[in-house]
Amino acid sequence: MIVAGQSQSAYFLEEELPSTERSHTLSVLVDNEPGVLARVVGLFSGRGYNIESLTVSEIEHSSHMSRITIVTTGRPPVISQIMHQLGRLVPVHKVVNLTWAGDALERELALVKVSGRGEIRDEALRLAQAFNARIVDATLDSYVFEITGAPADIDRFVGLMKDCGLVELARTGLAALARGKAGI
């Protein structure tokens, strides 16, 4: 089942939505079985579509269901085509474009390692407090911060940490849900 805001044909959506290229967050409900992720990623790579972020996790252990959250960029006709092709894959139960569905909640987690002493170390700590980042590891020469938030906020935090001795960065990828009482 393919959902794009409301139950409308893809042709109607293409006419209604702007034709500019923008980022889209797709939520895909699939069977949790070997090879499913490879098939989904293969669909993107085989057609030359880029995946900017990919998050996969089992959401219902008893029914063996997983949720794949994919961030990709494209114009509405391309996104519509991607959604329809995903929907035709056998292990896919539902595809929702959270960007078209409305104001989705989007969060990401990052671990940020900075190294330094003295004033630079103090500045990194002040910035971490301003962004509500937690210290998960500390040595005399470094901190590892954990920050959760909107991707743009994490981008800002990481940009500021470059001046404080950024050493290493790990990001989880986007997790997203539509607002309201309805689920996928």
What is the average pLDDT value for the chain, to the nearest integer?
A: 89
Separation CA 24–CA 6 (nearest Å): 16
* CATH at 144: 3.30.70.1150
Residue 31 CA to residue 64 CA, distance in Å, equals: 6
126 lies in which domain range? 105-177
Same domain, 87 and 113: no
13 and 98 fall within a common domain: yes
Residue 184: inside a domain: no
Q: Which pLDDT does position 183 carry in this prediction?
A: 79
Q: How confident is the model at residue 67 (pLDDT cuts 50, 70, 90)?
A: very high
Judge whether residue 65 has pLDDT over 60.
yes
45 with 89, same domain: the answer is yes
pLDDT tens for residues 27-51? 999 999 999 999 999 999 988 999 9
One-letter amino acid of 27: S
Give the mean model confidence (pLDDT) for residues 89-105.
91
- At residue 7, does pLDDT exceed 80? no
Query: Do 89 and 113 belong together in one domain?
Result: no
Q: What is the pLDDT of residue 170?
A: 98
Q: What angle do CA 55, 182, 52 make, to 5 degrees?
A: 20
- Residue 174 three-state SS: coil
Q: pTM of the prediction? A: 0.81
Q: Pick the more confident residue, 178 or 8.
A: 178
Same domain membership, residue 128 and residue 60: no
Report yes or no on 160 lying in a domain: yes
Neighbours of 47 (CB within 10 A): 11
- Alpha carbon distance 42, 97 (integer Å): 19
How much is the average pLDDT of 95-114? 93
Task: With beta carbons less than 8 A apart as the criterion, state whether 31 and 65 touch.
Answer: yes
The answer to whether residue 111 scores a pLDDT higher than 80 is yes
Reduced to 3 states (helix: H, G, I; strand: E, B; else coil), residue 139 is: coil
Average pLDDT over residues 90-112: 93
- The share of the chain scoring above pLDDT 90, in percent, equals 77
Length of the chain equals 184
pLDDT-derived band of residue 181, with 50, 70 and 90 as boundaries?
confident
What's the whole-number mean pLDDT along residues 148-174? 96
